[in-house]
Amino acid sequence: MIQIQTTPAERIGGYFRAVLDLLGEWAGPLDALFAAPAHRPSRRQVDAAVEPLAAALLDRADLSIAGAGFVAAHSALTDAPWHMAWWQGGSKERLARLTPQEMGETYARREWFTVPLESGRAHVTGPYVDFLCTDEYTVTMTLPVGGARPVGVAGADVFVESLEGVFGADLAAVHPAATLVNRSGRVVVSADPQLAAGTVLAPGWQSAAGVPRARGELWGGAELQAEACSRLPLAVVYPRV
Amino acid sequence: MPQRSSPQHRLRAAVFAPLGETGKVQRVEDRIIQGISAGVLRDGDRLPSEAELASSLGVATVTAREALVGLRSRGLVSTKRGRDGGTFVTLPRGDRHQLVRDRLGGMSRVELRDLAIHYGAIASSAAELAADFADQDDIAALRRLLADPPGAAPAPAGQAPGRVVGDFLLELAALSQSARLTREYVRLHTDFGSLLALAHADPEFDAPMRRLCADIAEAVGNGEPDAARHLVNRYVRAGLSRLITEHSRLTAAPAPSPTSGRTT
C-alpha cells in the first residue's frame, strides 16, 4: 500500500496518504448513493453503505484506526438535517449520541468537517482532544465526498498515542529531534522524547518569508529545517545545524 | 481508625475499594436527572433504548429498566409504543430549574463547596495549560463561542442558561491537550455546571461572567497561564457565592410564626 518515497518526510506522510487513499475509494459507493439530487438517501441507506467500508478500515491492524465513517453535510440526507455514520474501535461500535440535532450544530464548525468541504481537499486535523467522538487525544483525516456538490466528508480517527509507534523509528532516523508538525506547527509526534504532542513548535513553517524558528524557548529558538509532506498540511521539522 | 493508615496504605485500599454494586439504579436515575438539569437532555429528546442505556452506562439491562421506571414515576420521561416509540424526556418549561433547586436544597454547604473546589481545580488547570498550547485558530474558535448569535436574547429559547459559559469552558478544557482533564471537566460540568445554570438564569450574573470569559480568552491568547487560571477561579468563586446564597434561601427555616410579620 505504502509507495516508495524519496524523502523521510514523504515516507512519514505515506501513512496519512495511505488512509486518505483508502477513504478515497469510498467515492464509488457514496457517489452512487448521492447520484440523483432529487432522491437524497436516508440515514438508513447511508448507514448500510458506510458500515462495511468503515469496518474494513477498522480491520486494518497496520493502520491502527480508532474510528471511521461518513459525516453528512447539512440537508444532504432526506430524513435528518445532520448525520454521522461513524463506527469506533475493535468492536466497531456505532457512535450514538442522544441529540443528533445538537451534535450537528457542534460538528458543523469543526476543522475536520469545514476544511475539506471548503477547500475540496484532504485534510489532517489535530492532535486535539476529541470530546465529541473518541474522548481521546486524536488525529482525524478527512476527505470531501461528492465533488463539486459536496455531500459530506469521509474520515478516520487515529489516536496520537498509536502514532508514536507508527513513526517513532522513522523520525529518529531523520534526526534525533525530528518532529512531525501539523499546519499550525503543532507537534503530532516527535523523536525528541521531551517534546510533548500538542506543543506549538513551528508556527509559520508554511510561510515563504524567512527561515522558521522554534517557538519561544523550545530548542533554544533554533532555526528549523522544514520538509513538507506533499499534498498534506504536515511537515517534518528539526533544528538546522 | 485502622492502625496502619500510612498514605501508602490508603492508596492500596483505594485500589481494592468496592466498585459500588449497590445503588446503581439510583445512580442511573441521578445521571439522567443531571443531564436534564444541565440542559444536555431537552424536552422531547429520545433516550437510548434500555439495552443501549445499559451497555453505555455499564450496568445490567434490568438496572436500566428499573431506573426508567423510577424516572417515569417522577414524570421526567414517558414511553411511547409503536414504530416511532421510545422513551422521551418530558419536561414542562421551567421545571428544569425546580429540579436543580431540589438538588441544591438537598446538598450540604460542605458538599457544595467541595464540588466547587473540584470543578475549579479542573477548569483552572485546563485554562492554565490552554494558555501554553492554544494557537490563533483556537483563540478565534473560543471568541466565536462568546459572540452573541445575531438578534438573540442572552439565552436563546430552549437553551439552558449558562450554556455559553459552559460550552466556552469545555472548549477551553479541550485546549489543555489532555484527554483526561477534558473527560473530567465534562463529568463535572453535568454535575456542578447544572447548579451553575441557576446562577446564570439571572442576567446580572450571566452578562459579567460572559465578559469574564472574554478576558479568559484574551489571557489564553496572550499566552498568560497564571492570568487564565486566576480568571477561571474568579468565575468559580462568583458562581459558588451565588449558589450558597440560593442554598441558604432554600434551606432557611420557615419563619417562626406566620404572625411575626417578618418584612422582606
Rounded Cα–Cα distance for residues A57 and B101 (Å): 48
pLDDT value of position B19: 60
Tell me which residue has cell 442572552: B154
Q: Which residue of B has its CA nearest to A139?
A: B177
Pairwise CB contact (< 8 Å): B182 & A197: no
B195, exposed or middle or buried, with CB in 10 Å at 0-12, 13-18, 19+? buried
User: CB-based contact (8 Å) between B49 and chain A?
Assistant: no
Q: Which range has the worst mean pLDDT, A19-28, A89-98, B150-159?
A: B150-159
Q: What is the mean pLDDT of residues A160-185?
A: 91
CA distance B198 to chain A (A): 22
Predicted pLDDT at A37: 81
| Higher local confidence (pLDDT), B94 or B187 | B187
Average pLDDT estimate for A93-116: 74
Chain A contacts in chain B segment 21-40 (CB below 8 A): 35, 40
Chain B residues closer than 8 Å to A136 by CB: 179
pLDDT at B151: 41
Q: Which of A135, A185, A198 is nearest residue B177 as measured by Cβ atoms?
A: A198
Q: Is the pLDDT of residue A52 over 90?
A: yes
Query: Residue B264's pLDDT is what?
Result: 43
Which of A129, A184, A196 shows the shortest C-beta gap to B137? A184
- Cβ atoms within 10 Å of A107's Cβ, excluding its own: 18
Among A128, A184, A196, beta carbon nearest to B174: A128
What pLDDT score does B256 carry? Answer: 57
Interface ipTM: 0.86
Q: By the CB < 8 Å criterion, does B84 face chain A?
A: no
From B133, B141, B182, residue closest to A200, measured CB to CB: B133
φ, ψ of residue A127 to 5 degrees: the values are: -70, 145
Q: What pLDDT is attached to residue A203?
A: 92
- Asked whether residue A131 carries a pLDDT value surpassing 50, the answer given is yes
Peptide bond into B48 cis (omega under 30): no
CB B61 within 8 A of CB B52: no
| Interface contact flag, B40 A98, Cβ < 8 Å | yes
Instruction: For an interface test with B, give the residue of A98, A137, A157, A201 to mutate (most B CBs within 10 A).
Output: A98
| Contact state of A129 with B177 under an 8 Å Cβ cutoff | yes
Share of chain B above pLDDT 90, in %: 41
Residue B141 with chain A: CB contacts under 8 Å: 109
Whether pLDDT at B4 is above 70: no
Look at A46-55, A94-103, A128-137, A144-153 and tell me which has the smallest mean pLDDT: A94-103
Which chain A residue shows the shortest CA-CA distance from B185? A131
Is the distance from CB of A29 to CB of A49 less than 8 angstroms? Answer: yes
* pLDDT for position B260: 45
The pLDDT of B178-194, averaged and rounded, is 88
pLDDT at A189: 95
Q: Mean pLDDT, to the nearest integer, of B187-195? A: 84
Q: Is the pLDDT of residue A173 over 70?
A: yes
Mean pLDDT taken over chain B: 84
Across the interface, whether the CB atoms of A131 and B182 are under 8 A apart is answered yes
Give how far B146 is from chain A: nearest CA, Å.
14
Give me the pLDDT at residue B262, please. 46
Q: From chain B, pick out residues whose CB is under 8 angstroms from the CB of A186.
A: 135
**Higher local confidence (pLDDT), B108 or A230:** B108
Asked if A233 reaches chain B (Cβ–Cβ under 8 Å), the answer is no
The residue that leads in pLDDT, B44 or A90, is: B44
Inter-chain touch B179–A196, beta carbons under 8 Å: no
> Which tens digits make up the pLDDT trace of B57-92?
888 888 899 999 988 887 888 888 887 788 998 876
Of B40, B170, B183, the CB nearest to A135: B183
Q: How far off is chain A from B47, nearest CA to CA, in Å? A: 6
- The residue that leads in pLDDT, A105 or A30, is A30
- H or E element at residue B28: helix B24-37
User: Which residue on chain A is closest to B136 by alpha carbon?
Assistant: A184
Q: Which residues of chain B have a CB within 8 Å of the CB of A135? A: 179, 182-183
Spatial strand order of the sheet with A179-181 comes to A187-190, A179-181, A234-239, A224-229
**Hey, are the CB atoms on B177 and A109 less than 8 Å from each other?**
no
Report the chain A residue with the minimal C-alpha distance to residue B53: A98
Cα torsion A62, A63, A68, A70 to 10°: value is -110
| pLDDT tens-digit map of A71-89 | 999 999 998 888 899 999 8
What pLDDT score does A238 carry?
Answer: 96
